[in-house]
A and B are shown apart, each in its own frame.
Chain A
Amino acid sequence: MLAFIFRRLLSGVILIAVISFLAFVLLYASGGDIARRILGENATAETVAKKTEQLGLDQPLLQQYWNWVTGALSGNLGRSWFTGELVSTSVSNRLAVTLSIVIGATLVSAIVAVVLGILAARRGGWVDGSVQVVSLIGFAIPGFLIALGLVLVFAINLGWFKATGYVPATTSVAGWLSSVTLPIVALSIGAIAAVSQQVRGSVIDAMSRDYVRTLRSRGLAINSVVYRHVLRNAGGPALAVLAVQFIGLLGGAVIVEQVFAIPGMGQLTVRATTLGDIPVVMGVVIAFAIIVVIVNLLIDLAQAALNPKVRLS
């Protein structure tokens, strides 16, 4: 098991190295005149030239990449060209915000999806039908439309939640809940739709197995059978879908963060990429690559824990 984890982490490091180089090359190729973009139209050509030199943008590509790598390996990811903030500070602060929303959305969607999936699988009939229809609707409506609708109804008209901004949980738990509830709901709806269908399918499949009939014939209540035995077996595929959803939610958070003006990774990424803020984009790329590697590793370990038949190799 330790050998497995070690091999996984090693391949993760290689992956991150390759991704960082590709990202750097792409940024360089599409950069345009970044110094002019930073300074705007009022600056003279001399000031733009000075800025270009100061940022090292007149150096060859490989030289710039080497500068970045040596800096990154010693823990210095540089400063944003557009806000002056240390990249490591920006990324870690905003990661905390986005993760709080994405993890919240993952938990909410996991719980609701499991409940709905089991409900649909066990009750069947009109309950099953209506859960499927609701899922389909949640899946089909674009995330930003859901987000805007929620803002309009719950934040502006009813005033129950904040329309924009983020309050850290360390400042005020009530404020934090007020600012993350609508974003989490907006993000969850699409994920619930997908995962609940997966759970429903797995539960129906598991319920028809012989061991369920055996357990029932021994007098176990159906609820106990479902929660203690069926769920464990149905959990594998659902967990895989959830993992994909989690990574997807990181992307979906981009839109939600724009609509709710939340200072998370999504907002940072969009702004930095549009402006050509290379240090920040590189920091974001590295952060996301690390998250994906770790999440995939954790999911594999969880699958092994759920199902002893899975071999880690």
Chain B
Amino acid sequence: MFRWKATAATIAIAALALTGCAGAGDDGSGGSDSGRADRLTLTAIIGPTSYDIGQGAEYGNRSPFFQAVFDTLLQKNSAGEIEPWLATAWEYNEDNTVLTLTLRDDVEFSDGTKLDADAVVGSLERFRDGTSPQAATLAGKEFAAVDATTVTITQDAPDPSLVNMLSIAPGLIQAPSTFDDPDSATEPIGSGPYVLDTASTVTGTTYVYTANPDYWNPDAVKYDNLTINVIEDPTATLNALKAGEANGAKIVNNDTIPEIEASGWTIESNELDFQGLLLFDRAGTMAPELADVKVRQAINMAFDREALLKALQAGYGTVTEQVFPATSVGYDEALDSTYEYDPEGAKELLAEAGYPDGFSIDMMSTPAFQTTFDLVAQQLADIGITVNYTDPGSGNFITDMLAPKYPATWMALEQNPDWQLINFMIAPEATFNPFHSQDPQVDEYISTIQMGTEEEAEQATKDLNAYLVEQAWFAPFFRVQGTYATDANTNLEFWPTNAYPSIFDFSPKN
């Protein structure tokens, strides 16, 4: 009568389940013959859209996926300085219209084909002619292979951001043998420090890599294996962290920082994005009030930036009133105190401009950032400006902003290096200048930055920054802290100019 079969089965399952706990808790330490640690496990908040560089090459939060399998022409170290990588030397001609790159001659792709000047030209052309997000940065440039180790890049006018571009997504070099293969979207061939293990990889969720045995720079590689897990949900990331299932994790919610530090993890940070108002309609086409610089200045005086930082980011980040980042040659700390929080003074300024009773303005809002929008409306209401919010619907925020459908908006934007930032937010044809605002003084500064000597460009950048703050083209609130957490076994030096750390800047603690 004793049901021994059922009992035995139950005991067997229980035993298996308990031995399963041996599978939990992976860590990154443990030596090997190569002197490297066994595995680095990272979590990212988003995966690559495609491993074909013509479709999906992108840095930001997608950088580790591309850095793992591809090399870039130049590299940035942990201090954000540009160093030789696939290109050992680079030099401009007299008028900065031709850049000549000298390549290494000892690099092969993981399928054995040679990485030579033709491969580099092919990759650059593929990026330029494709639809990856930054494809336009190589528009209008011509590439040529002078000999097996020399490449020239020719452009009509100087481009101060070109060298920087070659150290990020546009500089990724893909094996030409995969150019015509649609599977290259998920099965990349590059020359990078790791090779994708397609059998163990689950696209969109887990990417597993093994160290490239023929890598030309083995000293830079500190791990035999790399796993990157895509976890979008911040709670799941936190759980993975606490259960010891990762060595490094990108943290999106800064208010979880105390909890993370309490679990024995270390926080590294940089400041890459700013949040604030973009006062687009400086000519007053849609909102005539914004044409008056006094109105825009008054808006800048309406915000208690310290309080906003505390309320919205738990105090993590830095108050700012300029759109240029602290790493820029144009940055001036003094500019951050141009406008005091002074609602009364703002109202006086509005009255001087002819709006003693204030006015109303149309802006967008989305539920995801409701607290921010409520606070913005409240602070503007305090100086007499009534905000009429419209929800543009899911996915239309940026499209409607750039249409343009609104004279001003709140936004979180990246503070790119200078020339990129100018073409992103300031120049008349910049993406985030939808009304194509133009100012002869701004044009003059931009021209000097592009065509002048290094000293002239640096001075012009400072002058441009100061001018934009004084002319109140924007009303920045603060720079947001970008946060990355590492466990007790892992060292990280977080580079300052990208959302995700460089995979070369992780190392095991021994």
Contact = CB atoms under 8 A, between A and B. Distances in A.
A174 B23 contact: yes
A263 B16 contact: no
B229 A165 contact: yes
B256 interface: no
Contacts of A30: 394
Interface stretch (B216-224, B396-404, B446-454): B396-404
Interface in B1-44: 16-25
Given A83-B50, A84-B186, A263-B205, A178 B235 contact: no
Nearest to A148: B235
Given A33-B395, A44-B431, A79-B185, A155 B239 contact: yes
Interface in A133-182: 148, 151, 155-156, 159-165, 167, 171-179, 181
B236 A47 contact: no
A164 B245 contact: yes
Nearest to A155: B243
B131 A164 contact: no
A271 interface: yes
Interface string A14-40: 000000000000000011111011111
Contact of B399 (A32, A79, A159): A32
A205 interface: no
A267 interface: yes
Interface residues of B, number: 59
A210 to B, nearest CB: 29
Interface of B: 16-25, 47-52, 55-56, 58, 60, 131-136, 139, 182, 185-186, 200, 202-206, 229, 231-233, 235-236, 239-240, 242-243, 245, 393-396, 398-399, 402, 413-414, 424, 431-432
Contacts of A84: 48-52, 55-56, 185-186, 203
A11 interface: no
A177 B233 contact: no
Nearest to B200: A171
Interface of A: 30-34, 36-47, 50-51, 54, 79-86, 89-90, 93, 148, 151, 155-156, 159-165, 167, 171-179, 181, 258-261, 263, 267-268, 271, 274, 276
B414 A42 contact: yes
A42 to B, nearest CB: 5
Nearest to B169: A42
6 contacts: A38-B49, A84-B49, A84-B51, A160-B20, A178-B20, A263-B206
B23 A83 contact: no
Contacts of A42: 60, 133-134, 414, 424, 431
Given A32-B394, A42-B424, A167-B23, A263 B204 contact: yes
Contacts of B20: 160-162, 174-179, 181
Given A161-B21, A175-B23, A47 B185 contact: no
Given A79-B185, A163-B239, A258-B236, 4 more contacts: A39-B131, A41-B432, A83-B186, A259-B236
Contacts of A80: 204
A51 B49 CA distance: 13
Contacts of B394: 30, 32, 274
Given A32-B393, A37-B395, A83-B49, A156 B131 contact: no
B50 A41 contact: no
Contacts of A274: 394
A41 B397 CA distance: 10
Nearest to A89: B203
Contact of B19 (A54, A85, A174): A174
Q: Specify which of A47, A89, A93 lies most central, judged by the most chain B CB atoms within 10 Å of its CB.
A: A47
